[in-house]
């Protein structure tokens, strides 16, 4: 896939760097949605590069970076590009980690907690329902109130875990963005595909610029694939970025 760099001077198009590690599998899917479906600029950012090339936001996609050797996401955090991402996030840049990307963000310390083996001990691929718990974030602001999102998960290690104090803090600070729920919005045990504490599917950091979620919004962004609820996550980011660009002017 061609690596297109940021398009200078076109303020309506946001620039997304989609990280590519050895073993990333959903990198092309993210670029496809951002570029071909949503019409923005997106490129594959090789793990050995240190510059984010003027990206407005960074997506860390799903897959099995480094073959999940050692622990999922454990090696990726040491790559040159992740150093750039840590700096970018420190300066308030928007970062979204999807599935393996969420695991990498936790390993890198950009998000609290850890993702461990699914309660069922098996890989699970299925659509789930998500309840948006905190609508006030750059990742959730476009999601209509009360609207459940139907988005696929596909993971073997998606069970979110953190100690009780951290969990309390996450909820208190509105850092829990999404919880697994059933078709009626009930946050029940059964509704979770992996046994996460309090059905946590996705969270953000204290400064609300870095988020991670286990479900794959890029797989739910086109009608032909069955549902488009995932677009709302990307559209939230685009709206937040647009607002920032206008504010800077």
List, by residue number, the catalytic residues. Answer: 99, 216, 218
Q: Locate 171 and state its tokens.
A: 């909820």
| Residue 225 within binding range of other proteins, rule CB under 8 A | yes
Shortest distance, position 174 Cβ to other proteins, whole Å: 26
Shortest distance, position 201 Cβ to other proteins, whole Å: 12
Q: What is the DSSP letter of 92?
A: T
Please identify which residue in 14, 42, 191, 240 interacts with other proteins, judged by CB under 8 A. Answer: 191
| Residue 218 within binding range of other proteins, rule CB under 8 A | yes
Please identify which residue in 4, 25, 166, 173 interacts with other proteins, judged by CB under 8 A. Answer: 25
Per CB under 8 A, which of residues 150..189 are in contact with other proteins?
150, 152, 154, 156, 182-183
| Residue 125 within binding range of other proteins, rule CB under 8 A | yes
In the beta sheet, which residues pair with residue 22? Answer: none
Q: Round to whole Å and give the CA distance between 209 and 147.
A: 23
Strands 176-181 and 124-132: antiparallel
Q: Round to whole Å and give the CA distance between 214 and 159.
A: 9
Cβ atoms of 214 and 201 within 8 Å: the answer is yes
Cβ atoms of 158 and 193 within 8 Å: the answer is yes
Q: Locate 194 and state its tokens.
A: 């992996």
- Stretch of residues binding other proteins (CB under 8 A), selected from 81-89, 101-109, 202-210, 214-222: 214-222
| Residue 40 within binding range of other proteins, rule CB under 8 A | no
| Residue 229 within binding range of other proteins, rule CB under 8 A | no
| Residue 68 within binding range of other proteins, rule CB under 8 A | yes
| Residue 22 within binding range of other proteins, rule CB under 8 A | yes
- Chain CA centroid to CA 97, Å: 3
- Stretch of residues binding other proteins (CB under 8 A), selected from 29-37, 83-91, 137-145, 235-243: 29-37
Q: Round to whole Å and give the CA distance between 160 and 113.
A: 7
Shortest distance, position 89 Cβ to other proteins, whole Å: 26
Shortest distance, position 182 Cβ to other proteins, whole Å: 7
Whose CA is closest to 206, among 119, 134, 146?
A: 134
Please identify which residue in 13, 40, 77, 216 interacts with other proteins, judged by CB under 8 A. Answer: 216
Alpha helices, H only, 91-213: 100-107, 164-172
Q: What is the DSSP letter of 55?
A: -
Cβ atoms of 178 and 201 within 8 Å: the answer is yes
| Residue 67 within binding range of other proteins, rule CB under 8 A | yes
Binding site for other proteins (CB under 8 A): 1-2, 22-23, 25-26, 28-29, 31-33, 62-64, 66-69, 122-129, 150, 152, 154, 156, 182-183, 190-191, 193, 216, 218-219, 222, 224-225
């Amino acid at each position: 896939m061609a690596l297109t760099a940021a398009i200078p001077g076109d303020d309506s198009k946001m620039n997304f760097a989609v990280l590519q590690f050895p073993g990333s599998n959903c990198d092309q899917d993210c670029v496809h949605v951002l570029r071909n479906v949503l019409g923005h600029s997106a490129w594959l950012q090789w793990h050995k590069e240190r510059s984010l090339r003027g990206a407005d936001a960074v997506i860390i996609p799903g897959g099995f970076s480094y073959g999940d050797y050692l622990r999922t996401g454990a090696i990726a955090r040491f790559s040159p590009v992740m150093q750039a991402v840590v700096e970018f996030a420190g300066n308030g840049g928007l970062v979204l980690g999807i599935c393996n990307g969420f695991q990498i963000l936790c390993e890198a310390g950009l998000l609290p907690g850890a993702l461990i083996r699914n309660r069922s001990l098996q890989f699970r691929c299925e659509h789930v329902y998500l309840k948006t718990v905190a609508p006030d974030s750059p990742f959730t602001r476009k999601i209509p109130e009360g609207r459940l999102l139907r988005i696929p998960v596909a993971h073997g290690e998606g069970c979110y875990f953190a100690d009780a104090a951290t969990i309390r803090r996450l909820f208190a600070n509105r850092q829990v963005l999404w919880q697994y729920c059933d078709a009626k919005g009930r946050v029940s045990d059964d509704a979770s595909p992996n046994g996460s504490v309090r059905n946590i599917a996705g969270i953000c950091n204290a400064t609300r610029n870095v988020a991670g979620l286990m479900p794959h919004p890029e797989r739910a962004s086109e009608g032909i694939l069955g549902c488009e609820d995932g677009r709302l996550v990307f559209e939230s980011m685009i709206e937040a970025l647009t607002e920032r660009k206008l504010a800077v002017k």
